[in-house]
Chains A and B, each alone.
Chain A
Amino acid sequence: MRTEDLIAQLSRDLAPVRRGAAERRLAAGAGLGAVISLIVLLLWFGFRPDLVPAAMTAMFWIKLAYPLSLAAAAFLLLDRLGRPAGRGGALWWSLAVSVVIAAGMGVVQLAMAPAADRMGLWLGHSALQCPFRILALAAPVFLGLVWAFRRLAPTRLTLAGFFAGVMAGATAATVYALACTEGAPAFLATWYTLGIAGAGVIGGLLGSRLLRW
């Protein structure tokens, strides 16, 4: 095909592009994935049976706020990394700050607890299952982000994949917190973070293949 013809074809039926289109696209992909994750959660676990009384406790909201803060930071990073030659700038730090605060809360909790209780507090009753559940719930969100990237232009594919994984894991962890009955900050800081980081690593490994354009 001649380039002149290609240009004519591309310009046919030209749709306007509104401001914030990239952000909306990312949000749509992640949002749709989150809805699917929520449905999966309800079918798999259902909401935690004590949802209403739990919602009166601070810890319930902390369990939502922590992964949500990571998801928000990852979203802002993806908005940049999804553009040609995009750089994250100081946004990396906001992720680290969230993790450090959660870890700090966990350490304080364990330090203040009687020594005999520490292991129990830290492991809860679902320590090893939690990261894997988060990974499973992250899959639809990650696929939604991969869909979103079909209109984006990342030039650092592994990094973009990693933060897509982090955003997927963090969104999944937020959803999971609606079913999870664990209450210890130390648990949250360890096992939720592990699930989110694991999603990031998998995303990074898949990034160069799935995000190529």
Chain B
Amino acid sequence: MKFDTIIIGGGLSGLTCGIALAKAGQNVAVVSAGQSNLHFSSGSLDLVGYKDGQEVKDPLEALGQMPETHPYHKISNPDILANQARKLLEEAGIKMEGDNHKNHYRLSPVGKLIPAWLTMDGLFTVNGAEELKGKHICIGNITGFLDFPVPYLADALRGYGAEVELCTVTTPLLEHARQSPSEMRATNIANYLADDENVQEVAGALKKVLPANIDLLLLPAVLGIANDHAAKLLQKLMSVETKFIATMPPSVPGTRIQTLFRQYLQKLGGTFIPNDTVVKGDIENNKVVRVYTENLVETPLEANNFVLAGGSFLDGGMASNYDGIFEPIFHLDVDGSNKWTDWTADKLFDQQPYQSYGVKTDSLFLVSKDTAVLNNVYAIGAILSGNDPRMATSTGIDLLTALSVASSITNK
């Protein structure tokens, strides 16, 4: 099977790169071992959240001040790529709000205000904690839904000066779902509430228990697994302003992003190969000419260019054993220590060295093997070395490196 570009990894970075290349007319294939980390996403995306432990106000500005080892250092046109990313999200049907030069705050499931660049439309955001002072908020929950820690949220919001009341709601359908305490998850609720009449039932039940004089109703993000229809409908039915807060995983907003992005890739003619893992490849004259997957035993995949978007250690893009760290498909040059005693710091919230490990790339994100550059193999996203998750740059790295590499490939 021959393609123009094969992308190894079907998460945020792989799909973004695939979409950009497909839009430019390329015949692309994305090979993915399983569903991605987007299923744990809050529904927000970051360019830069924190620098030296401090919250960042202007993410684009902070992006230009990254250390030399950080992937952003190789991005020469972040403003253009940031806008390109926003456009792709919109075209895929994912409505996001945000300002490239001004982070807003999203609310975490336990009530912390966290800087964010783009947040999915409908999710609760503020520009500053002051906006919460004196606000009459009701936090609503579905009876029996355990992945939404209401007491933590209420305490946190009260700490910001809001007046908070609580209410829970249920309907016969949701009571039926509640029979299984372990399976009453956000995504299952979203599926139960996919039909309009079920949403209307919830709205009716909410209106009965809603306290008077409420400025804002906050609900868990349990509506809209494949599009924003159910969430918008509920917002319309409630007379008070209604916003949603990300829940514990599995994430409905995250699942929506993954679904819509994958569908957009396929709409553009891209091939999505799920539940398959690239196991090795053939290298000739400093180029990868074909790769082999677990399932396609007799059919190697050939392409002019390859993009490694397989993620870090958790996702299988990077691997480790008692001998050290390595990249499992081609055994590429990596940045990081082979001594396991170097991998972690004693205190959990200190910088953990292994989180910055990854594949070594040059200024064009090209990889190398035994110091020789493979001039048709790029790496993007979490597989790249130099990231520190405490800076909240991970999704930005996914998007910007994906688009940067897509541009390099189409301009070749």
Whether chain B is bound by chain A comes out as no
